[in-house]
Amino acid sequence: MAHRLLRDVEADGWERSDFPIICESCLGDNPYVRMSKADYDKECKICTRPFTVFRWRPGRDARYKKSEICQTCSKLKNVCQVCLLDLEYGLPVQVRDTALSINTNDAIPKSDVNKEYFAEEHDRRARAGLDYESSYGKVRANDTILKLQRTMPYYKRNRAHVCSFYIRGECTRGAECPYRHEMPVTGELSQQNIKDRYYGLNDPVAMKLLNKAGEMQTIEPPEDESIKTLYVGGLDARITEQDLRDNFYAHGEIESIRMVLQRACAFVTYTTREAAEKAAGDLSNKLVIKGLRLKLMWGRPQQPKPETDGTELAKQQAAVAHSGMLPRAVISQQQGQPLPPGTSQDQIPPPMPYFNIPPQPQARTVYPSMDPQRMGALVSSQDGSGSSNRPAGPGEDKTGSGKLPQGHQSYATPPPSGQYQQPYYPPYGYMPPPPPPQYQHHPPAQYPH
Amino acid sequence: MPKVKTNRVKYPEGWELIEPTLQELESKMREAQMDSHDGKRKCETLWPIFKIAHQKSRYIYDLYYRRNEISKELYEFCLDQGYADRNLIAKWKKPGYERLCCLRCIQPRDHNFGTTCVCRVPKHLREEKVVECVHCGCRGCASGD
């Protein structure tokens, strides 16, 4: 009953809001998300003031997520209310601040009464509309941050937590247990603290990212002076020759662009060697077209050599461990390197002068949000095969999932350490009705005519 | 002392036939009530109660409506004495609710977004196939499956 006695505008400085400030990864891939709003439900983890808590499920495989910090705190640092990562780049606060050399840390107090007062003051001024200085909009993106930023939403963080009973071997719930039955990944990265992450001090994930950024070098030009061609990998059907031209024209005159869609790659040839080197230097870790991070390497003549940069590979291996920051294109390139040249050569038309083509990357549509079928649009052939598979029971599910485009990979392929296959999920928004139950076959009665 | 009217229970005919089963179910219920809570989750401790209550009501409902083995009088008597849940049986008479597990699972006020429990969703429309609803431990009470 107490809540009915509260006034409309909380003079105590309690916060009310209409929609949470969240990033794409936390919102999820489902366009039909259903969110509940509870006013003053919890206290902010940073400033401990009551605020409006929103709770929703970011997708089928996801646990329920709710906003953890209030909007005031999230606006102060321009972070998502749930994951406390930057809204624009998806990076931890410490990484973003060091990369962009912002330092608002002195202004924000961290001790008890001080921080509550500061938060309230800020809130009051923001509501009054005056003096709202948010430096985040004005800062220009620089090189480092472009290299480090996350380009696609990362839904793996929305998975259910690991079942703590399973770790001890005692989970009696079995199949209906909603938690993940995997062994947890422990290590230095697991000791994270929400306050440290928010204020940008002592964050182990940020340290790791910054170290990796420090070691990222530009690719070295090859010894053979006649090579003026750059290999661009990780392409998608949406990326056109015009897109490549737009990105590469600035560095010099382009002699030719050859796209090999079969291998999801392209070769950009410049007229001069210097232009190619300049392009390589400028774009090497930063090439992002239409949200897709592309890999840039030097092209090679047809005599294949055993692979280059052992160091680059090693660095990239290390980077893979960090929550999948590395784009899939790079990982698949890595894995594809040791392929013998003969197999690729067969599939390339002979006049192709440059050979630096690793096998086709595994993922065509990389994320469910890129796959039109999942967003509710009906694709008749796929749908037909999908619904005809379903009544056959769970045993058939694996073949059903195999038929779907690779975009379902994140759902259909088992996690590396998972105990069970992920089930096949029909697309969001529309469930085709099951076929009517098969009637018993009645032997036709022979009636005398 | 003035005469106090007592209500003595007068058992209708046919009672002797159903009495043993009913007594057995009652003792099952008592056992479930006395069970310890060790090794069970907090919500899980109540599941046997709901299950046995469903069983008792189901028995009497079956006897009267399906098998027609008891008279209306005896049926009403059982309901009055509390051997079966009248409201639950009322739901079973409705189309689509023939296998309803308990009354909590269809109460929209008890659920988020004013919906019903997950056990009411038919298995072919659900995403998780194996589910035990939190109210009564039901695994699926939609009439289809």
For residue B104, what are its two tokens? 């909590």
Phi and psi at residue A50, to the nearest 5°:
-65, 145
Q: Is the pLDDT of residue A30 over 90?
A: yes
Tokens of B80: 């009055």
Q: Which residue of A has its CA nearest to B39?
A: A172
Of all residues in chain B, the one with the smallest CA distance to A177 is: B131
Which residue from A minimizes the CA distance to B139? A176
Residues A247-267, mean pLDDT to the nearest whole number: 85
What whole-number distance in Å separates Cα of residue A311 and Cα of residue B137? 56
Are A176 and B132 within 8 A, CB to CB? yes
Predicted local distance difference test score (pLDDT) of residue A398: 43
**Contact state of A431 with B125 under an 8 Å Cβ cutoff:** yes
Judge whether B51 and B137 are in contact, CB under 8 Å. yes
A-chain residues near B127 (CB < 8 A):
60, 423, 425
Which residue's entry shows tokens 């400085």? A13
Q: Tell me the shortest Cα–Cα distance from B14 to chain A, in angstroms.
A: 41
Q: Which helix (H) or strand (E) holds A39?
A: strand A35-43
Of B39, B127, B130, the CB nearest to A175: B130
| Confidence class for position A287, pLDDT limits 50, 70, 90 | confident
**Cα separation, A92 vs A85, whole angstroms:** 5
Q: With CB atoms and an 8 Å threshold, state whether B130 touches A390.
A: no
Asked if B127 lies within 8 A of A36 by C-beta distance, the reply is no
- What is the pLDDT, as a whole number, of residue A230? 85
Sequence-ordered strand ranges (E) for A105-156: none
Q: What is the pTM of this model?
A: 0.67
Check CB contact of B39 with chain A, cutoff 8 Å: yes
What pLDDT score was predicted for residue A160? 94
pLDDT of residue A252: 84
Tell me which chain A residues have a C-beta less than 8 angstroms from the C-beta of B113. 34, 36
* Reported confidence tier of residue A330, pLDDT bands at 50, 70, 90: very low
pLDDT of residue B111: 92
pLDDT at A320: 44
Return the minimum-mean-pLDDT range out of A107-116, A234-243, A374-383, A416-425. Answer: A416-425
| Cross-sheet strand order for the sheet of A35-43 | A35-43, A50-56, A65-66
| pLDDT attached to residue A422 | 55
Nearest to A60 among B112, B127, B130 (CB): B127
Confidence of residue B145 (pLDDT cuts 50, 70, 90): confident
Average pLDDT over every residue of A275-287: 80
- Chain segment B20-54, per-residue pLDDT in tens: 999 999 999 999 999 999 989 999 999 999 999 99
Q: What is the pLDDT of residue A376?
A: 61
Instruction: State which H helix or E strand residue A429 sits in.
Output: none
Pick from A244, A400, A379, A218: which is nearest to A309 by CA?
A: A218
Please give the residue that has the higher pLDDT: either A11 or A413: A11
Distance, in angstroms, between A35 CA and closest chain B CA? 9
Interface of B with A in 71-130 (CB under 8 A): 112-113, 124-125, 127-130
Q: Is B131 on the interface with A (CB under 8 A)?
A: yes
State yes or no: pLDDT of A443 exceeds 60: no
Mean local confidence (pLDDT), A253-257: 87
What is the model's pLDDT at position A11?
67
Task: Name the residue of chain B whose CA is nearest to A61's CA.
Answer: B127
Tens digits of residue pLDDT in A354-398: 555 555 545 455 666 666 666 565 555 544 444 444 443 344 444
The pLDDT score that the predictor gives to residue B2 is 85
Q: Do A390 and B124 touch (CB under 8 A)?
A: yes
